[in-house]
Amino acid sequence: MVLPMTEASALSHKQIEDLITESLTARQNSYSPYSKFRVGAALQTVDGRVYQGCNVENAAYGGAVCAERTAFVKAISDGHRRFVAIAVSCDYNNFITPCGICRQFMNEFGKSLEIFFVNDDRTYKRAILEDLLPYAFGPEDHHD
């Protein structure tokens, strides 16, 4: 479900614009010789740090890693666990939404994550992860 633009974001206008810029910058490092589909992501932590990620493909196609997961893995391996938003941009003049694997991966670290789908002209749509992955199986479903 895409949120109406009137619905308030946890981010300021400047933070959104900065996150969009970082996702477009991250796209430049995309390693995508097979799909030729460059994707960039910028992930903001609760303490205001931003991690960039790009998609990284592999000659064995199934080994590809999406931009969103690259950004998450970089941040998590640096010790971050709590995130407020991620912006995702691609090469085509279109909005893309995270794949199913990325939705599940991101859900591990909070279902209220804001996701910005960024177009080439910097326009964007916004959603909350929980709306993209309803009835998710998550960490709270694990019992000892």
| Binding interface with ligand THU (CB under 6 A) | 32, 35, 37, 39, 55, 57, 64, 66-68, 88, 96, 98-99, 102
Helix (H, G, I), strand (E, B) or coil at 114: strand
Tokens of 102: 């990325």
Measured from the CB atom, the residue of 16 and 71 that comes closer to ligand THU is 71
- 68 among known catalytic residues: yes
Measured from the CB atom, the residue of 79 and 100 that comes closer to ligand THU is 100
* Rounded least distance, CB 108 to ligand THU, Å: 17
φ, ψ for residue 8, nearest 5 deg: -65, 145
Amino acid at 108: E
Instruction: Judge whether 72 and 109 are in contact, CB under 8 Å.
Output: yes
* Rounded least distance, CB 47 to ligand THU, Å: 25
Q: Which of 22, 57, 68, 114 is catalytic?
A: 68
Instruction: Judge whether 83 and 113 are in contact, CB under 8 Å.
Output: yes
* Rounded least distance, CB 13 to ligand THU, Å: 24
CA distance 126 to 40: 16
Residues with active-site annotation: 68
